[in-house]
């Protein structure tokens, strides 16, 4: 309760837990009814509202989509200075830092397309971008908004020799394990 009061003072929007939690713990009683009226099921904290989830595609699945559904597919490359050394053919470069200013246009231009967000590893920028996109398109099927699992690193490691999949590949920007030079800056090389 103390944490909830502190969060309310700070203006944090809270909501009840998932529908599954609510359905699995439905009991009758005045205390539960009071909690539900306050949106505070079982007296616990409500969580910040999170939009529906996004889908994921592997490098192989993305290549298949590129081969078969190119006209109904948009690939957004969210990398910034780590974009040198190779990118996915046909992808749009929208550095993550510029995403907010371009999001409305992306939503409008991709209303009926599958959109795949990509960053180097597929763990930070692309999931955040997908969630921001979904927030702007709540009626959109979440499976049509995806993140490239394993990121561009996985895609480039598999398809760097395929000029129909990867453009501008520069092996000097990647280690033998396909770690981008941007990710190795400041690291001490291991002794072999």
Q: Mind listing the pLDDT tens digit for each residue in 34-67?
A: 444 434 343 455 444 444 588 999 999 999 999 9
For residue 7, give Cα distances in angstroms to 4, 17, 22, 48: 5, 16, 22, 11
pLDDT tens digits, 65-90: 999 998 999 999 999 988 999 999 99
Band the pLDDT of 188: cuts 50, 70, 90: low
φ and ψ at residue 34, rounded to 5 degrees: -65, -45
Q: Give the whole-angstrom CA distance, residue 176 versus residue 92.
A: 27
- Residue 105, pLDDT > 70, answer yes
Alpha helices in the chain (DSSP H): 2-9, 19-24, 30-37, 59-68, 99-109, 125-136, 151-159, 181-184
Q: Which structure tokens are listed for 184? A: 């190795």
Q: What is the mean pLDDT of the chain?
A: 77
Report the DSSP pairing between strands 87-88 and 166-167. Answer: antiparallel
Taking each helix axis from N to C end, the angle separating 151-159 and 59-68, rounded to the nearest 10 degrees, works out to 70
Average pLDDT over residues 93-106: 95
- Residue 15: the pLDDT is 34
Which neighbouring-strand residues pair with 147?
56, 117
- Residue 149: the pLDDT is 95
Reported pTM: 0.70
φ and ψ at residue 181, rounded to 5 degrees: -60, -30
- Residue 80: the pLDDT is 92
- DSSP conformation letters of 29-73: SHHHHHHHHTT-GGGPPPBPP-PPP-EEE-HHHHHHHHHH-GGGE
Q: Give the whole-angstrom CA distance, residue 167 versus residue 169.
A: 6
Lowest mean pLDDT among 8-12, 99-103, 168-172: 8-12
Residue of higher predicted confidence among 49 and 121: 121
- Residue 178, pLDDT > 70, answer yes
């Amino acid at each position: 309760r103390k944490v909830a009061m502190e969060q309310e003072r700070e203006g944090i929007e809270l909501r009840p837990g998932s529908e599954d939690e609510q359905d699995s713990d439905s009991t009758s009683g005045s205390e539960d009814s009071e909690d539900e009226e306050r949106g505070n099921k079982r007296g616990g904290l409500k969580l910040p509202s999170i939009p529906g989830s996004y889908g994921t595609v592997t490098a192989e699945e993305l290549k298949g989509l590129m081969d078969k559904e190119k006209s109904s597919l948009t690939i957004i490359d969210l990398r910034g200075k780590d974009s040198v050394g190779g990118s996915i053919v046909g992808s749009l470069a929208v550095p993550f830092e510029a995403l907010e200013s371009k999001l409305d246009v992306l939503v409008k231009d991709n209303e009926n397309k599958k959109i795949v967000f990509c960053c180097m590893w597929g763990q930070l920028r692309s999931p955040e971008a997908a969630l921001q996109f979904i927030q702007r398109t709540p009626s959109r099927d979440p499976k049509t908004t995806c993140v490239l699992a394993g990121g561009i690193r996985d895609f480039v490691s598999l398809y760097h020799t395929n000029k129909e999949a990867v453009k501008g590949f520069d092996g000097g920007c990647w280690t033998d394990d396909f770690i981008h030079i941007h990710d190795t800056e400041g690291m001490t090389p291991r002794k072999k």
